[in-house]
Amino acid sequence: MSDVSDNPLLKGLPLLGDLPDLDGASVLVRVDFNVPLKACAGEASTVTDDFRIRAALPTLNYLLERGASVTACTHLGRPDGAPDTRWDLGPVRDELSRLAPQVELLENLRFDPGEESNDPTFVDKLVNGHDAYVNDAFGVSHRSHASVVGPPSRLPSAAGFLLQREIEVLGGLLGQPARPFIAVVGGAKVGDKLGVLRALSDRVDLLIVGGGMSYTFLAAAGHDVGDSLVDEERIGDCAELLASGRPILLPTDIVTLEPGADFGCDCSGGEVRITGTDIPTGWQGLDMGPQTVEAFAAQIGAAATVLWNGPMGVFEDARFNAGTAGIARAAADSPGFTIVGGGDSVAAVYEAGLADRIDFISTGGGASLELLELGDLPGLSALRGAVNAPSEAGRGVGSHSRR
């Protein structure tokens, strides 16, 4: 990775060491505890993966150890601005009380419509009684929501350790990352990632495109893709990107499913066939083939910096998970600095038991992509506007890094 001194996003960003004396202070911490829940018949819901809660513990413990009282706030699910029992924070609160019993947790922020609308009245309600604010929720820092952008205008504020580390790593990609720098981008909808694909194509030495979006690129390159997922409105954009002269690598063999057959986690019927980049009429491309996996893995193995976001196929179906699993293994084996972001990609490395061999696993999917596309996030900009934000000359970058 590049040195953090090259990171423009850390300049002027208040860190935990920039907060006033915390002894006796009340601190509001925006965390991202949007964790998966499971409810069995007749039993209360439970947290099935507490990774995001544990990831916030260094920041919460830092504040507690310095004498602060800590109140955390988070969203959970999409309750649409009103209380919804499906997204009650009871199970999350129970898990937090086990890991950090001194930390209070407010109710689901999105139960109030003022959260997503950034209502100043709701911001006032959140900050009332608090002396400082910490944003440790990178995964929502691309949202101009009340709990993200409101408090820094009212309280001394700082980025928590988790947010800081995300910025150190991902922001480093905007500076001078070690090269060759390769980005592997997958997922279903090319329209959702076209902006970041353009931005990355200007920064990387090689852009690898896989997943459902690759079929729109293959169609743009003149291939017949059968009944595969294609965004007809984006074919022209993909053709323009391919014609730009930027180095872009696409699949060369495809794992396809016969017409009319179903796919998904509980499906097994239908003939599966490996084809080239021209897919027979009616057949669907659902994963990349072994030649493509080998070619992509070779490029990843030769890279000094690797960013991976998005699955390479319908990986929840065992017949179409070889591509995603292959990229996970290649990233784990890579001697370069590896970064994995996005829920499905992160799930894949954990499912394969490879998470401890990835250099950095990002807690933000959409946030990480928006950061790379636009070069900043609303949550970071808000922190730089806090009253205690340091001047660029007043603090060396990284002087308050976690010890």
Per-residue pLDDT at 62: 98
Q: Is 168 helix (H, G, I), strand (E, B) or coil?
A: helix
What's the whole-model pTM score?
0.87
> Out of 189, 203, 357, 402, which one is annotated catalytic?
189
- 366 catalytic? Reply is yes
Q: Count the neighbouring beta carbons within 10 Å of the beta carbon of residue 259.
A: 14
Per-residue pLDDT at 5: 53
Residue 110 — pLDDT band, cuts 50, 70, 90?
very high
Query: How does DSSP classify residue 225?
Result: B
> Out of 343, 385, 398, 402, which one is annotated catalytic?
343
Angle of CA points 369, 29, 86, to nearest 5°: 75
- 395 catalytic? Reply is no
- Whether CATH 3.40.50.1260 fits 175-372: yes
Contacts of 205 (CB under 8 A, 6+ apart): 179, 180, 181, 182, 247, 303
Length of the chain in residues, anyone? 403
Q: Is 275 helix (H, G, I), strand (E, B) or coil?
A: strand
pLDDT at position 31 over 80: yes
Give the C-alpha separation, 390 to 403, whole Å: 20
Per-residue pLDDT at 2: 46
> Mean pLDDT over residues 275-281, rounded?
96
- 150 catalytic? Reply is no
Pairing of strands 248-249, 254-257: unpaired
Per-residue pLDDT at 397: 39
Q: Would you give the distance in Å from CA 86 to the centre of its chain?
A: 24
- 189 catalytic? Reply is yes
For tokens 């993200």, the residue is: 148
pLDDT at position 161 over 70: yes
Per-residue pLDDT of 295-352, as tens digits, reads: 999 999 999 999 999 999 998 899 999 999 999 999 999 999 999 988 788 889 998 9
| CATH code for the domain defined by 4-168+376-384 | 3.40.50.1260
> Out of 313, 366, 379, 395, which one is annotated catalytic?
366
Do 273 and 258 contact (CB within 8 A), yes or no?
yes
Encoded tokens for 207: 């852009």
Q: Where in the chain are all domains bearing CATH 3.40.50.1260? A: 4-168+376-384, 175-372
Per-residue pLDDT at 402: 36
260: left (phi > 0), else alpha (psi -120 to 50), else beta? left
